[in-house]
Amino acid sequence: MSFISYKRAFVESKPILLRKKLTVAEGDPLVACDFLSEKTGLSKALVKKVMINGGAWQISGKRKNRLRKAKKDLKPGDKVEFYYDSHLQEIDTTEIKCLFETRSYGVWFKPANVLSQGTKFGDLGSIERHVEKLRGNDVYLVNRLDKETAGLIVLAYNPKAQRAFATIWSKKVKKFYQAIVLGHLEGEGEINQNIEGKKAVTKYKSSKVLKNTTKIELEIITGRKHQIRIHLNSIGHPVMGDPKYGEGNKNREGLKLIASKLEFSDPFDKSKKSFQSPKLLFEN
């Protein structure tokens, strides 16, 4: 299946969602996979897959740990949660790509419809889990992108590197995006509009006006959740294909937004770094 047709299938198909909070009782199966299969009505093969992918949790007081072992022994009174999202089982992570790495961190490309990190439904379709499996150890997200947004993500390979990037990320890292928006947006400007009571600033510049849309380049000065999408919608030019914000901006190929470029000084050796996404919405 091609990249475009895969995205269409992802957007058009309706997910199957299942949420269960369970307590093991006397007489219940005491092997995790058997117990969950009986309580959910799903096959043991599918339950095992969901468990491996991180959708099952064992609860101990305030602690929640992913329950990945199908043959894990349970006992009466144990509390287990089970979350199944059919879309997570379908997410294609094959286009995830490492662009640059040192012993301390890596710059990676995240395709659209791949999660930045896991959710309670699992972590199979996340770049975080994908890289952990490749490297064989924990990694730490420096930045996050919305599931629908493709582009550049920095992953720290140890807690020290994560802390080092945290000190520079908000003010010393330049973060650029490309978008295709509804309508004609001429020239350049700055959107300074709080999001959930917090300062949020987005700069934009028109690249090319098309028949019904405009290609634009953006730089985010702050990094609020859904910042670009909220800001562009607020000025009447929502991002094409945005499933949450805007009207008249539907697009079967998905969200037309990509984290296209990062510029920063390496927090360890102070060398200047500049990275561009291998996939762009348009050439400058």
Q: Report the catalytic residues.
A: 146
Phi-psi region of 122 (alpha: psi -120 to 50; beta: other; left: phi over 0): left
Q: How many CB atoms lie within 10 A of CB 212?
A: 11
Q: How many CB atoms lie within 10 A of CB 12?
A: 8
**Dihedral of CA 196/115/88/123: which sign?**
negative
Residue 248 CB-half CA count within 13 A: 8
Tokens for 180?
């295709």
Report the relative pairing of strands 150-156 and 257-265 from DSSP bridges: parallel
User: What single-letter DSSP state applies at residue 39?
Assistant: H
Helix axes 32-40, 44-52, angle to 10 degrees: 120
Q: In sequence order, what are the residues at sequence separation of 6 or more whose Cβ sits closer than 8 angstroms to the Cβ of residue 46?
A: 84
From the centroid of its chain, how far is CA 228?
15
DSSP assignment of 92-143 equals --TT-EEEEE-SSEEEEEE-TT-BSS-BTTBSTTBHHHHHHHHHTS--EESS
